[in-house]
Amino acid sequence: MLKKHFGKYGGILIAGLYGLFMRIIFGLHFNGSFADLFSITFVWILPFVVGLTPLIFSPKEDLQSSAIRIFRPVLAVLAFFTFCYWTGHEDFICLLIISIPYLIAAGLAGLLLGGAILYYRQKKGILYSVFFIPLVTGFIEPAIPTPSQSFETTSSIIINASKSDIWSHIVRVNEIKNEEYDKGFFNYSGIPRPLYAELDADTLGGTRIGHFEGGLKFEEKIIQWNKNNLVCFDIKIIPSNTNRTIFERHMLSGQHFKFLNATYQLKEISDKQTELLLTTQYQLDTKINFYGEFWAQQLLTDFQNRLLSVIKTRCEKPRMANL
């Protein structure tokens, strides 16, 4: 009875622990001699092996079921996520970001190779060597050149106010109250929301400091200035000293993701109506830039839309009071 239950569920536990062990290995700093958390190996190859692990220990009759060959690899990934979160190696937003490749790769591994595992076991025994695949590719991958690409995302909003009225709410941002900011899914998942921004000089070369929840700061130097029309800041991240989240340590370290600049542009529609555009340019340096861009676009678009909504409400509030 114990052997039967181990065959059904023990492999899921082993897969979760194996994944956690590999997460620790890939999280170490090997100075470029081994793949890291932003690698093809960690994001696509490791989940393939994690997904195969419960099938390696599954009974023969279970491997003949396509449903089990998909369901158990998915459970193995969820076990891995649980261990990572429980031990503090990942937070929710990080697990959300890697969930798509992990669930897809694990499910495909079980569906496509479950039969091969059964055949191999009948001929030669359990295929333990599969556990070394991420280690082998982890040493090989750093030899492949890492592309560096720049991207941008733009959000816009129509505000019933003149450009001059909007300008003051852009260059400086007074404290954003909780009732002003419509928190979204990403904020509740661990992305800090903006609090306020202060500017030391209304001119080219001026420095604005953007403050966020948790002590995170953006130091923004004005590199373009056209009053009431356009302002562009370059961005330097100042990490929080006491409350750095796992997401902040991973994504904002500057090693793989880097903010380049942020630009506010005002386009007059009429004397009392303006289109406000916010464009963020950023750089990715990974071998999975196509996937990194997808999440960067989601996170930045969500942030920009919510911030522009605050600006719109503040600019239109005096007008609404006079109606």
Same domain (yes/no): 286, 302 = yes
Same domain (yes/no): 138, 193 = no
Copy the structure tokens of residue 249.
Answer: 């340590």
Higher pLDDT residue, 321 or 98? 98
**Domain end: 143, 170, 190, which one?**
143
CB neighbourhood size of 203 (10 A): 10
Same domain (yes/no): 216, 252 = yes
pLDDT confidence of residue 260 = 95
Residue 67's pLDDT band, with cuts at 50, 70 and 90, is confident
The amino acid sitting at 147 is P
pLDDT confidence of residue 47 = 97
> Of 61-65, 139-143, 213-217, which has the strongest mean pLDDT?
139-143
pLDDT confidence of residue 123 = 60
Instruction: Please say if the pLDDT value at position 175 is more than 60.
Output: yes
**Strand runs (DSSP E) across the chain, as ranges?**
148-159, 194-199, 207-212, 217-226, 230-238, 257-270, 273-285
**Domain end: 143, 167, 194, which one?**
143
Q: What percent of the chain has pLDDT over 90?
A: 72
Give residue-wise pLDDT tens across range 282-321. 999 999 999 999 999 999 999 999 999 999 999 998 554 4
CA gap 221, 96 in Å, rounded: 32
**Domain end: 86, 110, 143, which one?**
143
Answer whether 141's CB lies under 8 Å from 135's CB. no
Domain that holds residue 275: 149-322
pLDDT confidence of residue 14 = 95
Instruction: Please say if the pLDDT value at position 275 is more than 50.
Output: yes
Place of tokens 């023990």: 10
Residue 214's pLDDT band, with cuts at 50, 70 and 90, is confident
Residue 63's pLDDT band, with cuts at 50, 70 and 90, is confident
Same domain (yes/no): 105, 193 = no
Answer whether 86's CB lies under 8 Å from 32's CB. no
Same domain (yes/no): 276, 314 = yes
Same domain (yes/no): 166, 297 = yes
Number of domains in the chain: 2
pLDDT confidence of residue 323 = 39
Instruction: Please say if the pLDDT value at position 143 is more than 90.
Output: yes
The predicted model scores a pTM of 0.88
Give residue-wise pLDDT tens across range 19-43. 999 999 999 988 889 999 999 999 9
Same domain (yes/no): 139, 153 = no
The amino acid sitting at 293 is E
Give residue-wise pLDDT tens across range 122-139. 566 567 888 999 999 999
pLDDT confidence of residue 32 = 86
Mean pLDDT of the chain: 90
Same domain (yes/no): 191, 258 = yes
Instruction: Please say if the pLDDT value at position 5 is more than 70.
Output: no
Mean pLDDT confidence for 108-124 = 75
Instruction: Please say if the pLDDT value at position 263 is more than 90.
Output: yes
Helix (H, G, I), strand (E, B) or coil at 173: strand
Answer whether 159's CB lies under 8 Å from 312's CB. yes
Same domain (yes/no): 85, 161 = no
pLDDT confidence of residue 321 = 41
